[in-house]
Amino acid sequence: MAVMNVNPTRMELSNLKKKLVTAMRGHKLLKDKRDELMRQFLLLVRENKELRKKVEDGIRAASAHMAKAASVMSDEAVEVALMMPSQSMSVDVEEKNVMSVTVPVFKPEYKTAVDGEIYSYGYAFTSCDLDDAVKALSDIMPDMLRLAEVEKNCQLMAGEIERTRRRVNALEHVMIPQYQDTIKYITMKLDENERSNTTRLMKVKDMMLEKAHHYNYDG
């Protein structure tokens, strides 16, 4: 029996009952939080799997086009073509709260919204495969950012799930049983004291009756 080291008094019993109610309410809330975190975590894991496949396919396609471009263009020509990019991108990092977990949100911002700006060269002296490689990389860039965002969110949520799981287990297997056992122990002690007091009072009554009437009450 996991009994706390407390005085078996009615005031302590009342305090422990209040703590038990609070602990049980907290246990339910934490379990609900853990379940919701798990649900959202599994959704992110599925999205992560889909995004990773899409990004890897896009990178493979871009690499294949770049290899073809390199086979018909010299290294110097490729380097010159890509030397002065006309498009640029910056990433704004914001935050949002998901079940008390602060997760990042990546928002890309482009120098210009014109699609043709991704090509920093003229078409006359370059291979169409170079165009396809640049286009493939440009197309998968938003997915790459989202993949990085999802993977970070998964990492943060996994940590919060583990922390919440430990709190749930501590309440379920340690604190709540300890409160329950201590409440049971104090209740037994108080009942025992009550019976002892009743017995003493009955003996005092017998003694008083015997003294007052000069006879034995039990007889």
Q: How far is CA 47 from CA 21, 58, 205, in A?
A: 39, 16, 80
Mean pLDDT rounded to a whole number for the chain: 86
Question: Quick one: tokens of 45?
Answer: 């894991």
Regarding predicted confidence, which is higher, 66 or 111? 66
* Digit-coded pLDDT (tens) for 35-88: 999 999 999 999 999 999 999 999 999 999 989 988 888 888 888 888 777 777
Domain at 116, CATH number? 1.10.287.3240
Residue 114 pLDDT class (50, 70, 90 cuts):
low
Segments forming the whole domain that contains residue 58: 30-164
Residue 87 lies in a domain: yes
Residue 69 lies in a domain: yes
What does the pLDDT read at residue 4?
A: 81
What does the pLDDT read at residue 219?
A: 45
For every residue of the chain, DSSP letters joined together read ----S----HHHHHHHHHHHHHHHHHHHHHHHHHHHHHHHHHHHHHHHHHHHHHHHHHHHHHHHHHHHHHHHS-HHHHHHHTSS-S--EEEEEEEEEETTEEEEEEEEEES---GGGG--S-STTS-HHHHHHHHHHHHHHHHHHHHHHHHHHHHHHHHHHHHHHHHHHHIIIIIHHHHHHHHHHHHHHHHHHHHHHHHHHHHHHHHHHHHHHSS-TT-
Residue 209 lies in a domain: no
pLDDT of 215 higher than 70: no
Question: pTM for this one?
Answer: 0.74
Q: Give the pLDDT mean for 111-137.
A: 79
Residue 71 lies in a domain: yes
Residue 146 lies in a domain: yes
SS3 for 102? strand
What does the pLDDT read at residue 199?
A: 75
Torsion angle (degrees, nearest 10) of CA 74, 77, 78, 83 = 150
Task: Count how many domains the chain has.
Answer: 1
Q: Give the pLDDT mean for 14-33.
A: 94
What does the pLDDT read at residue 159?
A: 95
* Site of tokens 């009756």: 209
Residue 1 lies in a domain: no
Residue 134 lies in a domain: yes
Q: Give the pLDDT mean for 139-158.
A: 93
Residue 198 lies in a domain: no
* Digit-coded pLDDT (tens) for 189-207: 888 877 777 777 777 776 7
**What is the CA angle 20-189-199, rounded to 5?**
145
